[in-house]
Chains A and B, each alone.
Chain A
Amino acid sequence: MRRVAEILLVITSWVSSLGVVAVVVALVAFLVYRSASVLDLQLFFGDVAWPDAVFGGARVLHGIWPAIAGTLILIAASSAVAIPLGIAAGVFISEYASGRFRATITFLVDVLAGTPSIIMGLFGFSMILLLRQTIAPDAGTGLLVAAVCLALLVLPYMIRATQNALEGLPAEMRLLGASMGMSHSQSVLRILIPAASRGILSGAVLSLGRAAEDTAVIMLTGAVATAGGRGPQSLTDKFEALPFKIFVIAAEHNTAEELSVGFASALVLLVLTASLFSLTFILQRSLERLWKA
């Protein structure tokens, strides 16, 4: 009986592991295979010369560049909110807050981390709704609202990464500042934060990746299928974004070529997020080695 359980576990563990690897390999291979026919500069910029599109503001009507530009600007805007706020809140929780207060904030951060992203989108949408009913009848969804909601989505990652990086420092490092006659704030600013910087950085990169891949938030807060062939020009503009573009193509493609563009967009997004996550992974690994050595 016991022997049977052992054999079963060995078999399922091999089958499961091989299955997981097979799914990932097959997914990537399938994306490459189905997008191979359209993978060139034309995919990105259509008939427009790329410097004109990237630097000249030329409109790209047949190409995914506007979606890429939209995603990059969206990541930048949401990071501009989430990263400083997340680091500051993380430092506060780890180094200043105490007792009940600290437990309460940590708990709320946990709740935020477990909240579905569509809820953040709904939240953004309802904010606009409220603004319309009250002080700003013209308010609408757009880049700013989407960026704020995305910031809310990635904020818990940023706070946790900062908290973990600080709390993972060797205990002696906390005494170091005091032993040199520094105040608590000096010690945090000059010793602890620099020492934890790599962990904080890896949290920031992870946040970028999470912001880049999310679809549910932006579909309720201003992402559109076509936005005039350019990236957003102001904070209130509607915008194209890569994940939303993929969603739209899945729902509305008419030709095999459009479908190929969908696969190519998925591949581009995968490369973008996978490199961000790999960077996070490498940063964390190097961090572990740093403290083990």
Chain B
Amino acid sequence: MESVVNVQGLSVWFGDTRVLEDIDLEFRQGELMVLIGPSGSGKSTLLRAVNRMNELYDGVRTAGEVTIAIDGRAERAYGSGASVARLRRTAGMVFQNPNVLPTSIRQNFSIPLRNVHGLGRNELEACMEEALRDVELWDQVKDRLGAQAQSLSGGQQQRLCFARALALRPGVLLLDEPTASLDFRATNRIEDLIVRLKERYPILAVSHSLGQASRIADTVCVLSAGRIVRTLERSALQDPGSVYRLAEEFF
């Protein structure tokens, strides 16, 4: 299978602190890869290095190369002349806390769709409906699209964020602990959604939970102190003993 994201020799510094050291990573079409590790191990930084979100923080420095497939062509994310906006459009991102924009549900779609894809009114409605159906939120919100997005429950807001990312027709999904702020039931629904979505999108996710990783992942990468210390395939994850040993060793 062809590789969607390819990370080579990636190092990231915040100020003088080296957060990631010499990371190599590759993941392919149809694959759901989960990054786990103790807090401070650099897993979120690695995720954000793919769409260059680290650059929104002060004093960050990146070395190495990330190659990402944009519209079927492999492009260098950090190459000179690379368009950051296009890169971030290609990578649909969902954050730990549901980050709905402080406007109506409809505008959460219309603002990015109009600005990023220049869609007109009719296309926009169709695109929004399709995305909201994808995340099984359409029936709950179709009668109140003008309501404040923040009036939805936490789980609904997070599904709205998934839908918003999907509406932009991403090439890959980047999920930064998408269930960390949700309760048990909402977490289950999001996990089901992720498993369904991986049929259509390659997904790179950060998780805080080893249990979650073993439930949904095709591949698990364990990070510790800025390095990838272990990579496990799905088969290894089905063995409770190995998962337990992993937990003992790293958490």
Contact flag (A, B; Cβ within 8 A): yes
When chains A and B are docked, how far (Å) is the Cα of A268 from the Cα of B118? 55
A-facing mask of B114-144, CB < 8 A → 1, else 0? 1100100000000000000000000000000
Would you list which residues of chain A between 126 and 147 have a CB under 8 Å from chain B? none
When chains A and B are docked, how far (Å) is the Cα of A2 from the Cα of B113? 12
B-facing mask of A228-250, CB < 8 A → 1, else 0? 00000000000000000000000
Would you list which residues of chain A between 1 and 20 have a CB under 8 Å from chain B? 2
Residues of B within 8 A of A2 (CB): 114-115, 118
When chains A and B are docked, how far (Å) is the Cα of A2 from the Cα of B115? 7
Measured CB to CB, the closest approach of chain A to B220, in angstroms, equals: 37
Residues of A within 8 A of B118 (CB): 2
Measured CB to CB, the closest approach of chain A to B96, in angstroms, equals: 22
Interface SS majority for chain A: helix
When chains A and B are docked, how far (Å) is the Cα of A2 from the Cα of B111? 11
When chains A and B are docked, how far (Å) is the Cα of A2 from the Cα of B119? 11
Number of B interface residues at 8 Å Cβ cutoff, please give it.
3
Which chain B residue shows the least CB distance to A6?
B115
Residues of A within 8 A of B114 (CB): 2
Measured CB to CB, the closest approach of chain B to A2, in angstroms, equals: 6
Measured CB to CB, the closest approach of chain B to A162, in angstroms, equals: 32
Which chain B residue shows the least CB distance to A1?
B118
Which chain A residue shows the least CB distance to B114?
A2
When chains A and B are docked, how far (Å) is the Cα of A2 from the Cα of B118? 8
Residues of A within 8 A of B115 (CB): 2
Measured CB to CB, the closest approach of chain B to A289, in angstroms, equals: 15
When chains A and B are docked, how far (Å) is the Cα of A2 from the Cα of B110? 13
Measured CB to CB, the closest approach of chain B to A245, in angstroms, equals: 47
Measured CB to CB, the closest approach of chain A to B213, in angstroms, equals: 35
Measured CB to CB, the closest approach of chain A to B144, in angstroms, equals: 27
Would you list which residues of chain B between 31 and 56 have a CB under 8 Å from chain A? none
When chains A and B are docked, how far (Å) is the Cα of A2 from the Cα of B112? 12
When chains A and B are docked, how far (Å) is the Cα of A12 from the Cα of B118? 23
B-facing mask of A153-197, CB < 8 A → 1, else 0? 000000000000000000000000000000000000000000000
Measured CB to CB, the closest approach of chain B to A10, in angstroms, equals: 14
Measured CB to CB, the closest approach of chain B to A57, in angstroms, equals: 57
Which chain B residue shows the least CB distance to A3?
B118
Measured CB to CB, the closest approach of chain B to A1, in angstroms, equals: 9
Which chain A residue shows the least CB distance to B118?
A2
A-facing mask of B73-89, CB < 8 A → 1, else 0? 00000000000000000
Measured CB to CB, the closest approach of chain B to A45, in angstroms, equals: 51
Measured CB to CB, the closest approach of chain A to B15, in angstroms, equals: 16
Measured CB to CB, the closest approach of chain B to A292, in angstroms, equals: 13
B-facing mask of A250-282, CB < 8 A → 1, else 0? 000000000000000000000000000000000
Which chain A residue shows the least CB distance to B115?
A2
When chains A and B are docked, how far (Å) is the Cα of A213 from the Cα of B40? 52
When chains A and B are docked, how far (Å) is the Cα of A93 from the Cα of B25? 59
Measured CB to CB, the closest approach of chain B to A293, in angstroms, equals: 16
Measured CB to CB, the closest approach of chain B to A6, in angstroms, equals: 9
Measured CB to CB, the closest approach of chain B to A288, in angstroms, equals: 16
Measured CB to CB, the closest approach of chain A to B124, in angstroms, equals: 13
When chains A and B are docked, how far (Å) is the Cα of A19 from the Cα of B118? 32
**Can you list 3 A-B contacts with CB-CB less than 8 angstroms, sorted by A residue number?**
A2-B114, A2-B115, A2-B118
The 3 residue pairs across chains A and B that have the minimum distance between CB atoms: A2-B114, A2-B118, A2-B115
